Amino acid sequence: MSEDLSRSTRASRRRFLKSFVLATGLAASGSLIQACGGQPSTPAKPADSKPAESKPADAKPKADPASKQAESKPAESKPAADAKPTAQAAPAAKPPSDAALKLGLVLPYSQVYAQLGESITNGMQLYFDGVGGMAGGRRVELIKEDEEVDPQIGLRKARKLIEQDNVDLLAGVVSTPTAYAIRDIVDQSKTIFLCANAGGNDLSRGRKSQYIFRTSFSNAQPSLPMGEYVAKTAKKVTICAADYGAGRESMAAFRGGFEQAGGTVVSEVYPPFPNTDYAPFLGQIQSAGPEAVYSFFAGSDAVNFVKQFDEFGLKKEIKLFGSGFMLEQDVFEAQGLSGVGGVTGLHWALTLDNPENTKFVQEYRTKFNRDADVYAMQGYDTAHVIVEALNKTSGNTSDKDALIKAIEGMSFASPRGPFRMDPETRNPIHNVYAREARDVGGKPSNVVVETFRDIKDPGA
């Protein structure tokens, strides 16, 4: 989620103590996301049981967001070969069984967030393949568009999918600023949007829409129960997070629970996002003398922070806690054993013991030759919601009220555990797990040490 891992900083403790740049301020800054423009290709033949797929064109990473020439010229996705529109059909009529279900995906497929977009798409593909590529009697056709660094580009991609490709549903989005940017066009066009990652709290609160549902998490959820959990073992804590929306919102949720449980936040440290050199900030943490640190970092920021925290000796002095994205499958390989002993909160773990997760993990590894991560699981559940909702409405996406009602009442057994859609916040109610990173055969692995059941976004 940021630039590639730089060489580890070899700073001395004396350098730490001279470097004090305590980040302050309460306003959350926007998250950045890297991706590139693309253009869909011709969908697969109807005879194929897998969802048809329209792939984006090659990326143009230096595109000017204000210039139309920076985007690839969008190509319209062709309908299934056998599809025959019904003349003068009523808007709410059931579509012909051979009309493809056009699912527009706005996700990063290149540069720093490419792995997240790939994982979410893989998870969706795995679920769709498991039901023969069909939803409500209609063949699923994926039309992909890349997110880019500017949320306005994400907005243009969403507008293209809605107005030119005439998608039936929209899904995806990793970046919270992009989710906020497309909120109004989704609401005004009455396009049902399933958010598969972006965790901005306001999407479930002040900026929620009846047409927007989240299948991932709100930023508050993973850290909400961890405050009380950490307070059982440490009463003095420093909070340290990447200085953007997700980091600030995660720390606010943790702090509320921690202070209510009798804990004291002795200092706050907010390194810039993205970042590679954490030496000055590790010095600030050490000088505050906390018993523990609670952090939010993800992607290569998580790699850099965790490795440097260990290399500078703080791991021996200060217990490491955090939001689960800091110690997760997508960063474990690069972190090595640096994070072992750390405890994080998240709504899933690779080792989670339930039948749905066992099946998901095994099938994902078989199909993609690597372990699943939380983003793949979120894609898998997104596809599950789509298929179940379309099955309940017999494939009818024109009757928005019926489709909304089907999603609002969604409840099923997920790889994450029980999944239930909250009709008020339009956000999942699910378990959050405290997971300890342990050395299992020379590799880090998250082991669930405590379960917090039915955690919902506060909605206020």
CA atoms of 139 and 148, how far apart (whole Å)? 29
pLDDT over threshold 60, residue 38: no
Any idea where the domains of the chain sit in the sequence? 13-30+221-346+432-455, 52-83+91-217+354-423
Predicted local confidence at residue 299, as pLDDT: 86
* Closest C-alpha to 298, from 241, 226, 220, 355: 241
Measured in residues, the chain has a length of 460
- DSSP-derived letter for residue 325 is G
Which of 47-56, 75-84, 318-327 is least confident?
75-84
Predicted local confidence at residue 36, as pLDDT: 33
- Per residue in 107-137, pLDDT (tens digit) is 998 866 788 999 999 999 999 999 999 999 9
Average pLDDT rounded to a whole number, residues 183-189: 98
Torsion over CA: 204, 208, 210, 211 (sign): negative
Residue 366, classified by CB atoms within 10 Å of its CB into exposed (0-12), middle (13-18) or buried (19+), is exposed
Taking the whole predicted model, whether its pTM rises above 0.85 is answered as no
What phi and psi, each to the nearest 5 degrees, are found at residue 316?
Answer: -80, -20
Q: Please report the beta strands in 115-187, taking only residues with DSSP state E, as ranges in sequence order.
A: 134-135, 138-146, 169-172
Which of 91-100, 383-392, 446-455 is least confident?
91-100
Average pLDDT rounded to a whole number, residues 22-37: 34
CA atoms of 78 and 87, how far apart (whole Å)? 19
373: tokens are 């991560």
Predicted local confidence at residue 50, as pLDDT: 53
CA atoms of 151 and 300, how far apart (whole Å)? 21
Yes or no: say if 50 and 121 are a contact pair by the CB < 8 Å rule.
no
Confidence bin at 149 (pLDDT 50/70/90): low
Predicted local confidence at residue 130, as pLDDT: 98
Confidence bin at 146 (pLDDT 50/70/90): very high
Yes or no: say if 58 and 109 are a contact pair by the CB < 8 Å rule.
no
Confidence bin at 2 (pLDDT 50/70/90): very low
- 3-state DSSP assignment of residue 332: helix
Predicted local confidence at residue 212, as pLDDT: 98
User: Which are the contacts of 129, defined by CB distance < 8 A and separation ≥ 6?
Assistant: 49, 50, 51, 367
Q: Given 3-state DSSP classes, what are the helix, strand and coil percentages for the chain, each rounded to the nearest 5?
A: 35, 20, 45
Class of domain 13-30+221-346+432-455: alpha beta
Yes or no: say if 408 and 423 are a contact pair by the CB < 8 Å rule.
yes
- 3-state DSSP assignment of residue 54: strand
Predicted local confidence at residue 417, as pLDDT: 98
Predicted local confidence at residue 92, as pLDDT: 42
299: region left, alpha or beta (phi > 0 left; psi from -120 to 50 alpha): left
- 3-state DSSP assignment of residue 230: helix
**What kind and span of H or E run contains 364?**
helix 355-368
CA atoms of 136 and 100, how far apart (whole Å)? 10
Predicted local confidence at residue 207, as pLDDT: 96
What phi and psi, each to the nearest 5 degrees, are found at residue 225?
Answer: -85, -10
Confidence bin at 23 (pLDDT 50/70/90): very low
Class of domain 52-83+91-217+354-423: alpha beta
- Per residue in 376-407, pLDDT (tens digit) is 999 999 999 999 999 999 999 999 999 999 99
CA atoms of 297 and 325, how far apart (whole Å)? 7
**Side-chain-facing half-sphere of 358: CA atoms under 13 Å:** 3
pLDDT over threshold 80, residue 21: no
149: tokens are 């660094």
CA atoms of 91 and 423, how far apart (whole Å)? 25
User: Which are the contacts of 68, defined by CB distance < 8 A and separation ≥ 6?
Assistant: none
- Per residue in 247-272, pLDDT (tens digit) is 999 999 999 999 999 999 999 999 99
Predicted local confidence at residue 110, as pLDDT: 81
Which of 98-102, 157-161, 191-195, 291-295 is least confident?
98-102
CA atoms of 363 and 356, how far apart (whole Å)? 11
* Closest C-alpha to 290, from 248, 338, 230, 340: 230
Fold agreement (13-30+221-346+432-455, 52-83+91-217+354-423): yes
Buried b / exposed e over 33-65, threshold 16 CB at 10 Å, is bbbbbbbbbebbebeeeebbbbebbebbeebee
